[in-house]
Chains A and B, each alone.
Chain A
Amino acid sequence: MPLNSPCKVGTIEVKNRLIMTAMGVGLGEHEGKATDDFIAFYARRAQGGCGLIITEITRVTEGHGIGEYDQLSLSKDENIESFARLADAIHSYDSKIFVQLQHPGRETYLALTGTDALVSSSPIPSVAFPQPTRALAIGEIKELVSQFGDAALRAKKAGIDGVEIHGAHGYLVQQFLSANDNKRTDEYGGSRENRRRFLMEIVADIQEKCGRDYPISVRLSSSEFLDGVGIRSGITVEETIETAVALEQAGVALLNISAGTYFTGATIVEPTSYEQGWKIPFASEIRKHVSIPVAATGVIREASYAEQLIDNDIVDFAALGRPWLCDPDFGNKAISGHGDDIRQCMSCVYCFDTAGETLVTGGGHAKCAVNPEMGNETIYNNLKKDGNRRKVVVVGAGPGGLEAAITLARREFDVTLFEKNTYLGGQLYLASLPPHKQKMGFFIRYAEKQLKDLGVDLRLGTEADAEEIKALNPYAVILATGSEPLKPGRIPGIHNDNVYTPVEILRKDVVLENQKVAVIGSGLTGMETAITLQTAGNEVTIVEMQDICGAGGGQTVIMDERGTLAELGVVTMPGHRLVEIRDHSIIVADNADFQIEVECDSVVVSLGVRSVNPLEEALNGFENIYVIGEAKQAGRRIADATHAAYQIAYNL
C-alpha cells in the first residue's frame, strides 16, 4: 500500500497515510482562539501534503485545565468561529483536521491555572515539576467528562473533522489509566476497568453529544517504560492492548499510539540519540488486536521509512510530529519520490525548548533550528526569485552559511560558497560526530544536495581572502565564519602540551586512549566530548564551574546526555572552577574555595568559543556585507545562525 493511498477513519476518508501529530507551538492566544499565525502554520502543512492534521493540546475547561498560556481552547462557544476558519483553511488543501482535547492534570503550573492546587487522579505531585496536587472528587470527574463532550461538540460545530482525546504522555487521562499514578479506591481506581473508566466515559459523552459517527481518535502511550527506572506499576503494552480493544468496542475510530510519561520524558520527545522507529513495534503489536486504524509515532525521519511502514502493513498511518516543523512539504516530497529533498528533523529538540520558554508567560512560539519559516508563515510567505544571477559570496559553510547559500540560490542569485575546512557544516558537523549523534548531520546531508541541485559554486578547503572576494565583484557578501574554541590565558598551564580543545578531540586531530582526562566545562560540547573520550577507553572527569552539569542547554537533551555519562561512569564535578593545569593534574576550587587536586594526564578545555570574523574589516566599503551566526556573536545556537541567514537572504 503506497503512502498516498486513502484510509477511512470512521466516517471520513483521509487522502494519504501521513498524520501530523499534536505539538504545542505557541501560536495561539490566551483566550484560546486560533489566530491567523496559527492557521497559517497548520495550513502550510496541509499544503505540504499532510493527510490528517491533529492540532496541539486544546483545553476543555479553564482553571485547572489550562496547560499553556497561549493554548487553544474549546471551553467556550465564542472560540468556535476561529476554529471554523482553521477547518476551512485545512480543507482547502483536501486535508482533514482533528482537534486534540486535553487536560494536563498535575502536569501544568499553578501560575497558569491560578488555583491553589493542581488536580490528578490521586494527590501525587508531578515528578518533573512538583506542586501541590489534589485528587479530583467524583463530582468533578463527572463534570470534566461532560466538558470533554461539550468541547467536542464545539469542534464539530466549527467543521472540525474529528477530535482526539489525549490519553498519553502523562496527562490527566493517563494519570487515571496508570496504576503508578492512580491510587484511588473508588470506581475510578484499582482494576484496569476502573482506571480506564474516565476515558471511556469521555468517549461516551462525546458520542452522545456529537453522534456515534463523529470520529474520535485516542492517543495512548503504549508503555510508560517505568520498569526501566525500577517502577513496576507503570502501563505496559499488554495493558494498552486491553485499553485499545475496549476503545474499539466503544466505537473509537483511530488509535494514535505513542509512549512515555513525564517520569520518562525523553521517550515522549526523543532527543537525537533515539533510533528511527524505536517505538513502532509497540504500536504494531497493539494493531494486531484491533481492526480500527492505528497510527504510530516514534522518530520517523525518512520518507522511505514511512513508506516502508505502510507498504509492509506495519501500521495504518505514519504519525510524525517534529518532521512537519522541519519541512512542511514532507508529505508532497515523500509521496512524489523526492524523499532526499526533505529537510529531515535532527531531533535536536530546539522546537520543544523554545516552546517551553514561553509556555507559562506566552509571547513566543516554538522555533525550528533549521527551518526559519516555521512559525513565521505569515511573514515568510513569498520567496521572490529576483536574484537575476547577481553574484553573492557566502564565507563559511556552517549552518548559517549553508542556509544563506541555499535560500539565495533559490532566489536565483549566483552563489559562491567558501569553506576553509574540507567538510560542510562547521560546528554542526562536529556535533554529529559523538556516539549516537549522527542525526545532527541530517541538515548537512540535505544542504549538500540542495547546493548541488541549485548549482552553488562550492569551494571546499578554500579559505577566502578579501582580494579573492573583491575579484568576484559580488553584489553582497555574507560572512558566516563562525568561531574558534576559547582557551582563557589567565589559567596557569592553559598552553601546556597536554591541553586540547573539543574540536581537536571530536575531529580526531588528537586521539587520547587509556588516559585520565579532565574535561573543563559541561555544556553540550563538553558532555559530548567527555562521552567520546570515555567511549574511547579513557577515564574522564568533567569539571564544571556552575552548580549544574549542562546548565543552559535544553533539558531533554541534557538529561539524555547525563544518562549516558552515568552509564559510562564519567565522574562529574559541578561547582568547581579550574584554577591551574599541571603536568599530571589540575587544581580546582569548589564553592567554598577549597582547592582540590584532580589527577589527569590530559585536559580538554570546553569553555566556549570566540568569534572569528577576519574579513569584515578587510571588506570595508562594500555595500552589502552581513555578518551572521557566531562570527557576529559567540555562543549562539544553530537557529541563531540559520534564522539570521534566512532573514537576510529572504530580504536581500
Chain B
Amino acid sequence: MKAKLVLNPEEALLEPTAIMGDEEGIYFTFMSDLGVISSVLPEPLEPAFPLVSGYIVEIRKPSFGEYYREAMLGVYVNVNGTIGMYPLTFLLSGPGAEMATYLGREKTGLPKKLCENLEDISIERNGDVLRGTVKRKGSLLMDVSLKLGEYNDPGTDNIYNHPEPGKVTGGTSFYFHTILEPDETGTAVYKKVNLFSNEAQYTYRSWQPGKVSVRLYSSENDAWGTFPVFSNMGGALSNNDLEMKELYVIANPDPEKTMPKLMSTRFDKAALVKGVE
C-alpha cells in the first residue's frame, strides 16, 4: 500500500511501543573521571559513579523500520535518588537509521546523529575476538576491542545486573527533550526543555563477557574523546531485545543553562553560530 499524505486521526499516532529487536553487539564499561563526568551533566542530573558505558550494536529487527547500527556513550547519574543511565550521544548508520533518529529525537529527545555509510559503524569478529569501530565524516571516534572470556574487572557483572540468557532486566534512562520556537524577533530559540525518565526492559538471548580495550577520539563535530579511560572494566557480546517503555516528564530545567551541554551532540559545528570557538 502506498503512502498517503493525509492520514486518519487514528493513523496519525506514533506506535506507542518501540522495540529494538535482535540487537547484537559489543557493550563496554570503563572507569573515567568524576570531574569530567560532572562537567557534562546539565541540572538536575548528578553523577552517580565515575563510570562510562557504551555500545556498538546492530539492531536487526526494530519495531519501527529497517535494520540499523548504533553506537552510544553514556554515564550513570542520580536524579532525586534514582540512579540511571544518561546517554550522552548516539551515532547511527544503515537503512533504518533515519527513522530511528527521527523517532528518537522527536519522541524521546535522544541526542542522535547519522553517519554517512553503513560501514561507518562496524563490528568485526574473528573467533573469540571482536573489534567495533565508529567513524563519522572520515574521523575515527570509537575503537573498542573485545576478547571473549572474562571481564577485565569481575565487578563489572554488577554494573550490568548479572545478565544471562533468558533473563529480563530493567533500567531507567534520562533524556532531555528540547523545544525550539521563534521568539518575538523571529529567531528560533530553545524555549523549553523537558527532562524525561524512561523505563527500558532488556530481554537477553545471550551475554558473553570479555575483556575490552577502549579507545575514544574527538573530531571537529563529535566530542567522543571527552572522557579519559582510566580503567577498562569489561564488556560483553550481547544479543537482546530492548523495549522502551514508560516515558515521564520529571523536570523542566532552564534552557539557557541546559542547552550548552546538549547542542554538540545534536548538531554539527556548521549548524551552530559561526565565529564562536
- A residues contacting B by CB (< 8 A) are 122, 124, 127, 130, 183, 228-233, 547-550, 562-563, 565-567, 570-576, 590-594, 596
Question: Which residue of chain A lies nearest to B214 when distances are taken between CB atoms in the complex?
Answer: A575
A200 to B16, CA, bound (A): 52
- Complex contact A591–B35 (CB within 8 A): no
Which residues on B sit within 8 Å (CB–CB) of A231? 38, 46-47, 78
Query: Main SS of chain A's interface residues?
Result: loop
- Complex contact B35–A566 (CB within 8 A): yes
A550 to B43, CA, bound (A): 32
B255-271 contacts to A (CB < 8 Å): none
A549 to B232, CA, bound (A): 9
- Picked from A232, A563, A590, the residue with its CB within 8 Å of the CB of B35 is A563
CB contact under 8 A between A230 and B38, given known A562-B33, A573-B229: yes
- Complex contact A549–B81 (CB within 8 A): no
- Complex contact B231–A230 (CB within 8 A): no
Which residues on B sit within 8 Å (CB–CB) of A591? 145, 147, 152, 211-213, 232
CB contact under 8 A between A575 and B81, given known A547-B231, A563-B33, A566-B36: no
- Picked from A122, A230, A574, the residue with its CB within 8 Å of the CB of B230 is A574
Which residues on A sit within 8 Å (CB–CB) of B228? 562, 565-566, 570-572
B124-151 contacts to A (CB < 8 Å): 129-131, 143, 145-147
A130 to B158, CA, bound (A): 10
- Complex contact B213–A594 (CB within 8 A): yes
- Picked from B37, B43, B232, the residue with its CB within 8 Å of the CB of A575 is B232
* B: contact size bracket: 35 or more
Taking the complex as formed, is B64 at the interface, i.e. its CB lies under 8 A from any CB of chain A? no
A231 to B147, CA, bound (A): 36
- Complex contact B46–A592 (CB within 8 A): no
- Complex contact A592–B41 (CB within 8 A): no
- Complex contact B131–A229 (CB within 8 A): no
A579–chain B nearest beta-carbon distance, Å: 14
Which residues on B sit within 8 Å (CB–CB) of A567? 35
- Among the interface residues B34, B130, B146, B229, which one has the most CB atoms of the partner chain A within 10 A? B34
Which residues on B sit within 8 Å (CB–CB) of A575? 152, 211-214, 232
- Complex contact B230–A592 (CB within 8 A): no
B1-52 contacts to A (CB < 8 Å): 31-39, 41, 43-49
- Complex contact A229–B232 (CB within 8 A): no
Question: Which residue of chain A lies nearest to B36 when distances are taken between CB atoms in the complex?
Answer: A566
A548 to B156, CA, bound (A): 14
A567 to B230, CA, bound (A): 13
Which residues on A sit within 8 Å (CB–CB) of B131? 592, 594
Question: Which residue of chain A lies nearest to B30 when distances are taken between CB atoms in the complex?
Answer: A574
Question: Which residue of chain B lies nearest to A234 when distances are taken between CB atoms in the complex?
Answer: B46
- Complex contact B211–A592 (CB within 8 A): yes
- Complex contact A547–B232 (CB within 8 A): yes
B251–chain A nearest beta-carbon distance, Å: 13
B131–chain A nearest beta-carbon distance, Å: 6
Which residues on B sit within 8 Å (CB–CB) of A550? 230
- Complex contact B35–A229 (CB within 8 A): yes
Taking the complex as formed, is B153 at the interface, i.e. its CB lies under 8 A from any CB of chain A? yes
A570 to B230, CA, bound (A): 11
B181–chain A nearest beta-carbon distance, Å: 29
Question: Which residue of chain B lies nearest to A565 when distances are taken between CB atoms in the complex?
Answer: B228
10 tightest Cβ-Cβ pairs between the two chains A and B: A230-B38, A590-B213, A566-B33, A592-B145, A592-B147, A575-B213, A548-B231, A547-B152, A591-B211, A547-B232
- Among the interface residues A232, A563, A576, which one has the most CB atoms of the partner chain B within 10 A? A563
A52 to B78, CA, bound (A): 41
